[in-house]
Amino acid sequence: MKTIPIIFMFCSVLLTHAQSNSQNSIIEENIELEDLPEIVITKIGDDFSFYLTDKNPDLSVQNLQNHFIAYNLGKDYQGYDNFLVLMRNDKGTLTATYNQNGKLVHVVEKYENVTLPDKIIFSVFKNYPGWGIVNDKYLYTQADGDVLKKQYKLKIKNGNKTKRIILSPSGEILKD
C-alpha cells in the first residue's frame, strides 16, 4: 500500500520536471539576440528626443553612434538657445544640435573611407564594369527624428578616367 503513494509522488516529480524543462526550452528558442532598437528615445522634461541609428557595416561609424547614444547631456544645455555636441573619431564626425529645452533637433554625420555596404559595392561593379572605387564619403543627416539625407559619395577610377557618383544605401545611383 505504501508503494502506491511513493510511485505517485515519483511520477509527479518526473512529470513536473519534464514540463519545466520543455517550457524552458520553448522560452529559450523564442529569445533571439537583436541589435539596438531603431529609435532611441530620451525624455527631457516634456520633450522627446529621437535619434535613428544607422546600420552601417563600418565599426567606426557604429562605435561613434553608440558613444553618442550613451552621451549624457545633463544640464549642459541650460542657458543656451542651441547647444552643439561634436564627436570625432578617425573616420569622421557626428554633430548634434539641441534646443534650449535639451531636445535633440538636428544630427549631421560625415565619414570618409568607411566599409561600404554590399549593395553599394555590387551596384558600382554592375553599373560601372572595369571601374574601381578610389575614395568614399558617407553623409547621414536627420532632424527631429526624420532622416533627411543618407548617401554615399564615391570617386571611381578606370585607367586615367575618374568619376564622382552619389548612391543611396540601397545601391541606387542618385547622381552620375
pLDDT by residue for the chain (176 residues), tens digit each?
555 545 545 455 445 544 444 444 444 444 444 554 444 445 555 556 777 777 778 888 888 888 888 887 777 667 778 888 899 999 999 999 888 887 888 999 999 999 888 899 999 999 999 899 999 999 999 988 788 899 999 999 998 999 999 999 888 888 88
Q: Tell me, what's the pLDDT at 62? A: 87
What's the half-sphere exposure (Cβ side, CA atoms, 13 Å) at 18? 6
Nearest to 108 by CA among 123, 122, 92: 92
Q: Tell me, what's the pLDDT at 84? A: 87
In a domain, 73, yes or no: yes
In a domain, 13, yes or no: no
In a domain, 14, yes or no: no
In a domain, 24, yes or no: no
* CA 76 – CA 59 distance, rounded (Å): 29
In a domain, 106, yes or no: yes
pTM of the model: 0.68
Tally of domains in the chain: 1
Residue 103 near residue 48, CB atoms below 8 Å? yes
In a domain, 26, yes or no: no
In a domain, 30, yes or no: no
Residue 107 near residue 85, CB atoms below 8 Å? no
Q: Tell me, what's the pLDDT at 20? A: 46
Nearest to 49 by CA among 83, 21, 24: 83
Q: Tell me, what's the pLDDT at 108? A: 93
Find the domain containing 150 and state its range. Answer: 39-175
Q: Is 140 exposed, middle or buried (0-12, 13-18, 19+ CB in 10 A)?
A: buried
Expressed in angstroms, the distance from the first to the final Cα of the chain is: 91
In a domain, 27, yes or no: no
